[in-house]
Amino acid sequence: MASHRRPKHPARARVTVLTATAAAAVALSSHSAVAAPDKPNKDEVKTKVDTLYEEAEQATEKFNGAKERQEKLEKEIAQLQDQVARGQDELNTLRTTLGSMATAQYRGGGFDQSVELFLSADPETYLDKAATLQQLSGKQVDAIGKIQAKQRTLAQQRQEASGKLADLDATRKELSEKKKASQDKLAEAQALLNTLTAQERRQLKDEDAKAGEAARGEGERTPAAPPANASGRAAAALAAAKTKLGSAYISGAEGPSAFDCSGLVQWAYKQAGVSVTRTTYTQANEGTRISRSQLQPGDLVFFYGDLHHVGLYAGNNTTLHASNPRGGVKYESIDNMPFQFGVRI
């Protein structure tokens, strides 16, 4: 029997194949457009990197604060543990003294059974019983009173040390978290910079260098002798900071070869014989707050609403500061950042 199936038209088959191919190409093109957005240009990368640097510095200053608290707690705990150890020795001596009294009393035939209670494995049970104390001699009462006082002191010191150890544990966890947050932001910034071509990175570096030299020219125009009413130690701190121009910026660094912003301020004032705290948040309360019009060389200048950045005023509208990993320690116009207030140490 003859087949009635119609033969397939070659032209129609080719149209179907071409249509499917075109649709696939459109789909692939659309997918590629979503998966591979336009690469950010040099200026966009710079803006994003600067934002990441600010976020990293916020985490860094919180890291610095946690580190300072950790060091303080460690010192306090060490002192308390030393006090507890010495107190325990004193308590043992007092108990030995009381035991000697009891021995002497026993040999004399007048050993009081109540003293035996104090020398038992759990003498604390009886120390607060007035009826028992009334049965003892004056010297014994005095010795037991000292034991009581020493036991209470030791209990308080041990409780305080226990609380500080818990605080220390929490502080160490915060320290680790803030350090990781800062490192993550810096790594993200570096990854963005790595997307630039070698030529773009050179251009960015040249732009930063030109801006830095212009600001340095303004800062270096500051008179060698500060105004008569300027702080001598502020001028000395600024002079010390100038010796670190070009030094690297490293989160958490306090010098002498690398710094973060508050680390540079602390180091510079230390060279001037002045001790200041470690973070921007505490440095903001170190001295007298002043307005922009009152600034003199060496005064601290704070930036951003949360005060996460600080520098030293260098005169002529410039600050000398540990800027960021790209710029290091350099001069910069204070108009480049949102100025908040100055502080005179």
pLDDT tens per residue, range 95-136: 777 766 556 555 555 545 555 555 554 555 555 544 454 455
Domains of the chain, each with CATH number or no CATH: 42-192 (1.10.287), 227-344 (3.90.1720.10)
**CB 321, CB 264: distance < 8 Å:** yes
31 is catalytic: no
Per annotation, catalytic residue among 4, 9, 31, 261:
261
Beta bridge partners of 248: 258
- Choose among 314, 307, 305: nearest CA to 280: 307
CA 47 from chain centre, in angstroms, equals 25
pTM: predicted TM-score of the whole model, two decimal places: 0.61
- Choose among 280, 277, 303, 301: nearest CA to 289: 301
- Choose among 303, 310, 222, 235: nearest CA to 266: 310
pLDDT tens per residue, range 161-214: 888 788 888 888 888 888 888 888 888 888 888 888 888 888 888 877 777 777
321 is catalytic: yes
Q: Which residues of the chain have pLDDT under 50?
A: 1-5, 8, 10-36, 111, 121, 129-131, 133-134, 224-226, 228-229
Nearest-angstrom CA–CA distance, 298 and 79: 37
4 is catalytic: no
Q: What is the pLDDT of residue 279?
A: 93
Q: What is the pLDDT of residue 17?
A: 44
Q: What is the pLDDT of residue 22?
A: 46
- Choose among 39, 13, 61: nearest CA to 284: 61
